Amino acid sequence: MPTAPIDLVAPELAAVLEFFPEIDFRQGVEAFRGNFVANRVQPPLPAELAVVDCRERFIPGPPDAPDLRVLHYTPPGDAAGPRPAVLHIHGGGYVLGIPEINDAGNRAMALALGATIVSVDYRLAPETVWPGALEDCYAALAWMHDNAAELGIDPARIAVSGESAGGGHAAALALHARDLARQSGSGPAICFQLLDAPMLDDRTGSTSDPHPHVGHFVWTPEKNRFGWRSLLGMEPGGPDVPAAAVPARAADVSGLPPTFISVGALDLFLEEDLEFIRRLTRAGVPAELHVTPGAYHGFGMTQGAPQVVQVTELRLKALRRALGL
């Protein structure tokens, strides 16, 4: 008999699946965005995380666009010198999410690294199609770089991180920043990209050969098509999709910053993430990959599971190395 999808899920991760909300984008996105807005009101923070200062700030957006909202996290205490920094980009399939959904994680990262974290509230699709969100993320990166002295950060040690769609935006941002720097010979540089199950390829779930064991939980091929269709403003997977909008379609991945990717073995994005790492290594980019057996998209919600503890520590260790800590 064929193996049932649930039989492939690691036992430590199976129970949480029933708590993931069922999202049916045929109903539109507004009904589901309400859940993310509600998350602005967070339960009381653990005392060890509450010591991290978090400020909402509004910074200049891209030309002809509104000011950009960011959350600015600073660890406690005086720094001996400029701090390293991480630009964080939240997930949500390109159509959902706000920076607050990663509040605890960003506070923990700031505390563990002694780093400044900036999380950007980029414009969502389908109201804003590509390249709107990319321009927002670049505006946040440029603000961090141009105001490094005021912010107390080291402009040579700015990493970018993101999960799911945020990982896709982070990868697109790294490509965009590289291309602008090549054209002008200057501009903000990214020293490292930390990508958690990044959403990199519009052909996954549309025109690519389907993998029989991935995408059964949380983020499915149907949802992926909706997310990419919303971002691109056109049907995904076809030859007319602009390569600049899709990291996996980039013809040249040389010159990108060192990269860390983690992904679950049952995640819809497994093969596109494997392929991106393969291409990076062939282009001479230092790249690290961790695949977690029995793990689906978003398995990090299973706090305390050994798989989550392991991946979290691996991510922090990679960041410490990249930021010279």
Active site residues: 164, 267, 297
Q: Which residues contact 56 (CB under 8 A, 6 or more apart)?
A: 69, 70, 71, 72
Buried/exposed code over 144-171 (b: 16+ C-beta within 10 A; e: otherwise): bbeebeebebbbebbbbbbbbbbbbbbb
Angle, vertex CA 279, rays to CA 195 and CA 10, nearest 5: 50
Buried/exposed code over 27-50 (b: 16+ C-beta within 10 A; e: otherwise): eebeebbeebeeeeeeeeeeeebe
Q: What is the 3-state secondary structure (H, E, C) of 221-234?
A: HHHHHHHHHHHHCC
Question: Both tokens of residue 252?
Answer: 């040249």
Question: Both tokens of residue 115?
Answer: 């780093």
Q: Which of 167, 175, 177, 277 is nearest to 227 (CA)?
A: 167
CA distances from 177 to 169, 189, 255, 317, 322 (A): 12, 7, 11, 25, 18
Q: How far apart are CA 206 and CA 208, in angstroms?
A: 6
Q: Which of 161, 168, 145, 150 is nearest to 108 (CA)?
A: 161
Query: Can you name the residues that pair with 5 across neighbouring β-strands?
Result: none
